[in-house]
Amino acid sequence: MAGGRDQLGPLERVTRVLVALVAAEPKGIPTPRLLKIAAFGGGEDHHVRQLKRLIEDLNGVGWDIRNTAPPGQTAVYRAFAGDNRLRLTLTPEQQTELARAALIAGNAAFAERAGIEGAAAPPIPELRTAPLAERNDDALNKVLYALERHCRLRFLYRRRQRLVHPHFVYPGTSGWHLVGHEDGSEKDKQFVTDRMADVRVDLPRTADPRHEPFRDEVDPLMWAVDQPIDVTVETTPAHRNQVETLLGTSSYHEIDDDVVRLTIRVTHRAAFRNRVYELGPRVRVLAPETIRRELLLELESLLD
């Protein structure tokens, strides 16, 4: 590889490396070939360090790129497929709590599937969803036990006794939130586990099952964080279902030969950008220019 100035622009380099890694699955790409794809300029002795720094930056924003070669051999990098939305959306503390909850519920493989490194192995760090004096780990453990065994929960919340059929928990700004149906209510409610008192668990299989998914509150893409904006993306017929699954159902679509253009309403721009990164070359953002500019600026910031 010739020295001198960079042979590729920073954004083009990132795109080429990611596309090549995804296309090379499951074999991966050895370091010499990946260096040629990245086309770094400058002295040869800096190339490997530059490549490692680039991969560290990509992993830092949600990708899962690992060296799979045995120790002492030339590195072979692979881009492992997985759902990186949790790593992009949640803080490290929230990721740890979610992995801990999965372990308590008996799902030891959850952390690896979600790309939360190191969370599946004990010891699990203690919860940090609330200040030490306000934490209520006993309540959370009972809630998780009830979820696993489909038990009703009885507890004191806001000075009222509650009888709740639990459905699931998720991390929020106030700590862990329990979503369930309270007897006597016409709709599901949310309860912060740190604020639950005198928690008692009924016998297994006493809770009613939930038949409808609670998507609106759990999926960050559905949160009303920003002003609604219609975004036009382009994909192929083969990838349309995957794009709509991650980005949301389109309100309008056009099909032109082997290209599909979708118009999607976006209310959480950061979550939308994260999903676009996850889809990679399977989708292109066409309009509006404000969204395209946000994507470019965020990608450029990774290289600074």
* pLDDT attached to residue 235: 94
- Please check the confidence at residue 145 and state whether its pLDDT lies above 50: yes
Separation CA 234–CA 237 (nearest Å): 10
Classify residue 115: in a domain, yes or no.
no
Classify residue 4: in a domain, yes or no.
no
Classify residue 199: in a domain, yes or no.
yes
End-to-end CA distance of the chain: give it in Å, rounded.
24
| pLDDT > 70: percent of the chain | 71
Classify residue 92: in a domain, yes or no.
no
- Please check the confidence at residue 113 and state whether its pLDDT lies above 60: no
Query: Bridge partners of 232?
Result: 263, 287
Classify residue 189: in a domain, yes or no.
yes
Classify residue 213: in a domain, yes or no.
yes
User: How many other β-carbons are positioned within 10 Å of the β-carbon of residue 168?
Assistant: 16
| The domain boundary residue, chosen from 218, 236, 258 | 218
User: How many other β-carbons are positioned within 10 Å of the β-carbon of residue 45?
Assistant: 7
Separation CA 229–CA 226 (nearest Å): 8
Range of 206's domain?
Answer: 126-218
The tokens for 288 are 């509006």
> Which band of pLDDT confidence, cut at 50, 70 and 90, is reported for residue 99?
low
Does 240 share its domain with 158?
no
* pLDDT attached to residue 295: 92
What's the CATH code of the domain at 281?
Answer: 3.30.70
- Please check the confidence at residue 134 and state whether its pLDDT lies above 50: no
What's the CATH code of the domain at 53?
Answer: 1.10.10
Does 16 share its domain with 65?
yes
Arithmetic mean of pLDDT, 245-250: 84
Classify residue 172: in a domain, yes or no.
yes
| The domain boundary residue, chosen from 63, 79, 95 | 79
Phi, psi angle pair for 91, to nearest 5°: -75, 160
Does 42 share its domain with 74?
yes
Higher pLDDT, 85 or 245: 245
Q: Look at 147-151, 193-197, 217-221 and tell me which has the smallest mean pLDDT.
A: 217-221
| The domain boundary residue, chosen from 163, 197, 218 | 218
Domain total of the chain? 3
Q: pTM for the whole thing?
A: 0.35
Classify residue 108: in a domain, yes or no.
no
- Please check the confidence at residue 103 and state whether its pLDDT lies above 50: yes
- Residue with the two structure tokens 């893409």: 221
The tokens for 51 are 């490549």
Helix (H) or strand (E) holding 71: none
Does 149 share its domain with 213?
yes
Biggest CA–CA distance in the chain, Å, is 74
Does 65 share its domain with 27?
yes
Does 28 share its domain with 73?
yes
Does 228 share its domain with 205?
no
Query: Bridge partners of 67?
Result: 77
Q: What contacts 24+ positions apart, CB below 8 Å, involve 209-215?
A: 209/150, 210/165, 210/167, 210/181, 214/167, 214/168, 214/179, 214/188
- Please check the confidence at residue 162 and state whether its pLDDT lies above 60: yes
> Which band of pLDDT confidence, cut at 50, 70 and 90, is reported for residue 133?
very low
